[in-house]
């Protein structure tokens, strides 16, 4: 049985945590809304929970919803499940990307009235 022919539950069972990346297709529901209350696009996969490092591509998704409307459509999605290395690397990479946000420096305010000497004279002292 090919991965594309598996039901969602079968795909989830056979692809629980592979050593190498694997690709399969599952059904999905795409929910788009563009109203005063909400602007969103959600995808819910049938019988598969996305894990760290997994990639999901919705095949032939709806691309436009007129303002004030909501659209729900059934589609297929191609899931590339991360292998062992991808599952382990993703949280590490995410941590370092997050810590880049912490690297914020604050310089003290340079006020001309505090030290009227030119920069060369300050460094010579």
- Rounded distance, CA 36 to CA 106, Å? 39
- Rounded distance, CA 50 to CA 70, Å? 25
Instruction: Answer whether residue 116 is part of any domain.
Output: no
Q: What is the pLDDT of residue 94?
A: 87
Instruction: Answer whether residue 24 is part of any domain.
Output: yes
pTM value > 0.75: no
* Local structure of residue 111 (DSSP, 8 states): -
Instruction: Answer whether residue 47 is part of any domain.
Output: yes
Q: What is the pLDDT of residue 18?
A: 63
Q: For residue 32, give Cα distances in angstroms to 12, 35, 63.
A: 26, 10, 9
Residues near 24 by Cβ (< 8 Å), separated by ≥ 6? 3, 4, 6, 11, 15, 78, 79, 81
Instruction: Answer whether residue 123 is part of any domain.
Output: no
Q: Which domain covers residue 14, as residue numbers?
A: 3-102
Instruction: Answer whether residue 81 is part of any domain.
Output: yes
What residues are paired with 33 via a beta bridge?
40, 70
Q: What is the pLDDT of residue 110?
A: 67
Instruction: Answer whether residue 109 is part of any domain.
Output: no
Instruction: Answer whether residue 42 is part of any domain.
Output: yes
Instruction: Answer whether residue 16 is part of any domain.
Output: yes
Measured at the alpha carbon of residue 49, what is the angle toward residues 44 and 50, in degrees to the nearest 5? 90
Q: What are the 10-residue block averages of pLDDT along the chain, 125 residues in total?
A: 42 56 93 95 94 94 93 96 89 85 68 59 60
Q: For residue 3, give Cα distances in angstroms to 8, 21, 41, 71.
A: 10, 13, 26, 29
Q: How many domains does the chain have?
A: 1
- Rounded distance, CA 102 to CA 14, Å? 40
Q: What is the pLDDT of residue 24?
A: 94
pLDDT tens track for 100-116: 777 666 666 666 555 55
């Amino acid at each position: 049985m090919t991965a594309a022919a598996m039901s969602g539950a079968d795909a989830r069972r056979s692809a629980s945590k592979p050593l190498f990346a694997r690709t399969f297709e599952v059904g999905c529901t795409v929910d788009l809304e563009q109203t005063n209350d909400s602007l969103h696009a959600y995808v819910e996969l049938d019988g598969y929970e996305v894990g760290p490092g997994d990639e999901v591509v919705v095949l032939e998704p709806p691309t436009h919803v007129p303002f004030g409307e909501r659209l729900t459509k059934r589609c297929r999605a191609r899931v590339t499940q991360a292998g062992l290395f991808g599952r382990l690397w993703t949280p590490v990479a995410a941590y370092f990307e997050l810590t880049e946000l912490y690297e914020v420096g604050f310089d003290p305010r340079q006020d001309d009235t505090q030290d009227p000497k030119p920069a060369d004279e300050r460094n010579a002292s």
